[in-house]
Structure 1
């Protein structure tokens, strides 16, 4: 992500602690509930949620994970998520500019990776790197979630369908769920049998 992009997100979070209304809008509440309901396992050992925003999804994921690492490029978002995750459980939040700051191999492997409303902010080279880092850190039989808004907006660098199709095309992943609505696309993959991280 460029410095201009980082500055843009900082301005949004300095103006509001919930710039996309993820706490109060029915759309966001319902989408979050669908993501959680679609997860194939009740509990996960080690999860990573890049692009955590203000931590609303992170707080819900923390209830299902023994260990959760959440990250965001925005320091303000990191601070908000830290407050949101201040309860019991092993959850941590870090500032990561992706794909550059993807967690080091010793932090994984992750048996759950949730990429929500994030990948379309990356150019093609950044997305290619994101794919490589996901595959390098997704545990055997691990779960990968992609959920993205489908409509055009100014900051978007890639289309949602193209991003999700590119993940589906990877032979290392087996498609487990495809859910399409007017507003968003939700896909879940697992590591294909015999494909190691």
Structure 2
């Protein structure tokens, strides 16, 4: 019984870099998880290594699992319960090939208002990366240039899922984006 209780209260650290961050369109989901005790804000942070952060169709942000490319990416770290992870996995389409939840190392904000990781304090976490089936093409489509932060500027033009055309799957939209010439 004690092991079950420990398992039910164990939380995983999740690095958010896009629409789940405070002030962005999907943060309401994170607020719901915080309200139910399934998530807690830990710190602002940035990736310990360089990663590509790009925008895809509908200005959706994608972190690409290509350590060493791109630049350090700024985001937020949350402690999330198993139930909360299941909710986030559903949003991120992990069973549908949209994103993959994989490990990442982040540097925590040192609290002085400066850049994250000033003291070099790192933490293992998980992040939602673009699925490996299209990540390299997404990097090429973005001119092999990434962002260091998904800001209001990048989010301008973001289209919520409910407002996107429903006759195609998200993967169809990704393929159209990857092969368009605009």
Instruction: Establish whether TM, by shorter chain, passes 0.5.
Output: no
- TM tier relative to shorter chain: under 0.3
